């Protein structure tokens, strides 16, 4: 999106992922550098001083304090960090706005959220624009999509394809918010292109609406051209016996439905894909990559 808009783009990565193909990607400058190590040994700061970027986008946000500090010293104008809707904790209201709901039950997310908030306050006093973008469940091409067990398992998707029964917590009305990766990227694009409006703000990104767990499974049935039976158990049984891992059952027990009104009104963000379209694109990608067989 940035290349097509005429911007110069440099991508820093560990080099473990193959570079994408396409004309626009040939216009990107690639730097191979590991996140943590480059912050510790000063090579990230040296790279910034050499490249002199106007904007730094940190999609990992594992040490945003160090990224922010190095960016400030290098004269960067705007830092954009990627958080997560889960950082707000268990939602009290849906759609969920960009404010803390309850303490986040995930230690890593809670630590990163605290650092994000500290950096946000620091930026307001130092004049370096800082923005946080909070995606929900990321879907679409490039990654195995969320499955009916709350994970990203190819084996579970194969079971969905065969029409095997899925167990959900009763009554199946929990909201799940798949958002296409392209629409997540669109949120970052809007933040980068609207620095003054984005400075000092946290923005949710997401689809225009969420799906109930029941509709989520029915959508997979439609995509796989089968019927996926659903059995319901209590939330307590589900968490204790069916899906005991917090990172999995959180998807099926807690709502994920971001309020995207702020980024839409202030930055002109408009998602292109519905949750159903994002799921279908994710499944198509699995077939294209021959992870699934027809």
The confidence band for 88, taking pLDDT boundaries of 50, 70 and 90, is very high
pLDDT at 17: 85
Q: What pLDDT digit, counting tens, does each position of 165-191 carry?
A: 999 999 999 999 999 999 999 999 999
Residue 98 tokens read as 């960009």
Q: Is the pLDDT of residue 18 over 90?
A: no
Count CA atoms within 13 Å of residue 135 on its CB side: 20
* 153 close to 166: Cβ distance less than 8 angstroms: no
* 45 close to 63: Cβ distance less than 8 angstroms: no
CA angle 77, 78, 84 (to 5 degrees): 170
Domains of the chain: 77-288 (3.40.50.720)
Mean pLDDT, the chain, as a whole number? Answer: 96
Residue 211 tokens read as 């799906």
Of 103, 173, 93, 98, nearest to 135 by C-alpha is 98
Question: The pTM is what?
Answer: 0.96
pLDDT at 22: 85
pLDDT at 21: 84
CA dihedral 22→27→28→31, nearest 10 degrees, is: 110
pLDDT at 283: 98
pLDDT at 1: 95
Q: What pLDDT digit, counting tens, does each position of 42-74 carry?
A: 999 999 999 999 999 999 999 999 999 999 999
Q: What is the DSSP letter of 268?
A: -
């Amino acid at each position: 999106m940035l290349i097509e808009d005429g911007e110069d783009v440099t991508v820093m990565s560990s080099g473990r992922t193959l570079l994408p193909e396409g004309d626009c990607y040939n216009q990107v400058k690639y730097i191979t550098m590991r996140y943590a190590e480059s912050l510790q040994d000063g090579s990230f700061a040296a790279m910034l001083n050499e490249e002199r970027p106007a904007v730094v986008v940190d999609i990992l946000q594992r040490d945003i304090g160090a990224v922010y500090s190095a960016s400030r010293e290098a004269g960067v104008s705007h830092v954009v960090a990627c958080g997560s809707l889960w950082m707000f904790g268990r939602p009290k209201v849906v759609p969920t706005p960009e404010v803390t709901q309850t303490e986040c039950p995930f230690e890593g997310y809670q630590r990163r959220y605290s650092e994000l908030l500290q950096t946000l306050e620091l930026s307001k006093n130092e004049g370096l624009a800082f923005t946080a973008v909070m995606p929900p469940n990321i879907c679409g091409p490039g990654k195995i999509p969320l499955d009916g067990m709350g994970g990203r398992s190819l084996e579970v998707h194969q079971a969905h394809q065969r029409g095997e029964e899925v167990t959900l917590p009763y009554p199946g009305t929990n909201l799940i918010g798949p958002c296409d990766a392209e629409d997540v990227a669109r949120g970052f694009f809007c933040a980068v292109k609207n620095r003054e409006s984005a400075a000092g703000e946290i923005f949710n990104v997401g689809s225009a609406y969420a799906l109930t767990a029941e509709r989520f499974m029915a959508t997979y049935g439609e995509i796989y051209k089968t019927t996926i039976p659903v059995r319901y158990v209590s939330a307590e049984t589900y968490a204790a016996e069916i899906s005991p891992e917090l990172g999995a059952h959180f998807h099926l027990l807690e709502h994920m439905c971001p309020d995207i009104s702020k980024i839409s009104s202030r930055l002109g963000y408009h998602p292109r894909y519905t949750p159903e379209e994002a799921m279908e694109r994710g499944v198509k990608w699995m077939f294209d990559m021959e992870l699934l067989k027809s």
